[in-house]
A = this chain, B = another copy of it.
Amino acid sequence: MKKTSAKTIGRLSLYRLLLDNLRRDNGITVYSHELAAAANCSAAQVRRDLMSLDYAGSPVHGYRITDLIESIDNFLDHPQGQSVALVGVGNLGRAILSYFRGRRPKLSIVAAFDDDEHKINRVINGTWCYPMADLRKIVKEKNILVGVITVPPNAAQTVADQLIEAGVHGLLNFAPARLKAPPQVYLEDVDMTMSLEKVAYFSRLRAEE
């Protein structure tokens, strides 16, 4: 695999979302400046990003949408697909199970984990919920490389450590806590409360201006 920056990967993922949308609206071709406008970057940036792909389309006559999606799929997705585990089946955990369900054929949450006996050993929002005691076994069995953390903040580091110990190399953390992870683990935080509070604060400033 080529070395590509997190920003480029993020934009490729965003282009694919935009292209999926265009395809749904029966679009055939797209120009780099259209992707650029939608992704809030320059057309030159789009063309540079697409050069990471082995896509031979000509930017002069526009990119063919289906071909470009296929090239991004080949680049971003693992050919055999990737399995994800989610830990913490509260409100947010359940929402995230629903949100990601069927969204990407090559990337799916195949196991959920919780400690609550009312939640374990049954299907929740389409995903089987296992007890935490099975985490290590299931992560190994299902070859899970990615863990999504939706537990309360005071449990987040323990869960992260357990996931890493089980063999996970990527963590998507929704808990409002900053986690420690060794360099061989890629960690990304999604902090919705912080985001909303930031927007609320700056909306007042902007309204006063």
Interface residues of A (CB under 8 A from B): 1, 3, 6, 9-10, 13-14, 17-18, 21, 24-25, 38-40, 76, 78, 82, 84, 91-92, 94-96, 98-100, 103-104, 107, 145-146, 148, 152-154, 168-172, 176-178, 180, 184-188, 190-209
Apart from the given pairs A10-B194, A82-B204, A100-B192, 17 other A-B contacts in the complex at a CB distance below 8 Å: A6-B198, A9-B201, A18-B153, A18-B177, A25-B154, A39-B178, A95-B96, A95-B98, A95-B99, A104-B193, A146-B196, A168-B203, A170-B202, A186-B198, A186-B203, A187-B199, A188-B195
Q: Closest residue of chain B to A190, judged by CB?
A: B195
User: In whole angstroms, how far apart are the Cα atoms of A78 and B197 in the complex?
Assistant: 11
Q: Decide if B196 touches A184 in the complex (CB within 8 Å).
A: no
User: In whole angstroms, how far apart are the Cα atoms of A153 and B107 in the complex?
Assistant: 20
User: In whole angstroms, how far apart are the Cα atoms of A18 and B177 in the complex?
Assistant: 7
Q: Decide if A196 touches B14 in the complex (CB within 8 Å).
A: no
16 pairs, CB–CB < 8 Å, chain A vs chain B: A3-B205, A9-B198, A14-B178, A14-B191, A17-B177, A21-B153, A40-B180, A92-B98, A94-B95, A100-B192, A100-B193, A107-B196, A107-B200, A145-B207, A186-B198, A188-B199
Q: Which residues of B contact A192 (CB under 8 A)?
A: 96, 99-100, 190
User: In whole angstroms, how far apart are the Cα atoms of A205 and B78 in the complex?
Assistant: 11
A178 contact from B24, B38, B201, Cβ within 8 A = B38
